[in-house]
Amino acid sequence: MNTLAALEQYSTLCDEISDYMQEENAHLRDSGEDEELLVSRKRQMIGKLQGALEFLRLSGPVKSAEHAASCEVRKKVLGKILKLLLLNRESEQLLLKNSVRSLPRVAAPQPTPKKVMSAYKTPKTAVRASGTSQAEGSWSVW
């Protein structure tokens, strides 16, 4: 199979992935859960995508007679990929929003006066044999 046919096959796969991702996005908007069925379909899509990319690599460069047609197909595929990236970003945001919403709220522990005092307490420096602290001794250089 030549490169143009491989690009057409890749374009068809992008359409299939787009349909899946729109279904996934609608499901995330409605129920907010990522079901196992969607995850298994996603794994199948990734397998198909890896196969199509390997096929594109093996098909070689575009022949000069097919250059114009391959440019058009590449432009269509690039547009589809950009749309898929935007849809994927929206789905990721929905997943994040739904996962944050489902986490239980944990109240912050109330600080006790003893904890507050220990947090603001400064450590005392040891007095040197000369009778000056480390901070006082460092100024003597100047």
Q: What share of the chain is helix, strand, coil (3-state, %, to 5)?
A: 75, 0, 25
Residues 45-58: b if buried by 16+ CB within 10 A, e if exposed: beeeeeebeeeeee
Residue in 82, 86, 51, 74 with CA at minimum distance from that of residue 3:
74
What percentage of the chain has pLDDT greater than the value 70? 80
What pTM, to 2 d.p., does this model score? 0.62
Taking only the tens place, the pLDDT of each residue in 88-120 is 999 888 888 877 766 567 778 888 888 888 888
Cα–Cα distance between 65 and 18 in angstroms, integer?
30
pLDDT of residue 38: 80
Give CA 69 to chain center in angstroms: 34
22 pLDDT exceeds 90?
A: yes
Cα–Cα distance between 87 and 26 in angstroms, integer?
11
Average of pLDDT values for 23-29? 88
Taking only the tens place, the pLDDT of each residue in 51-84 is 988 988 888 787 777 778 888 888 999 999 999 9
139 pLDDT exceeds 60?
A: no
Q: Determine the residue type at 120.
A: Y
Q: Determine the residue type at 76.
A: K
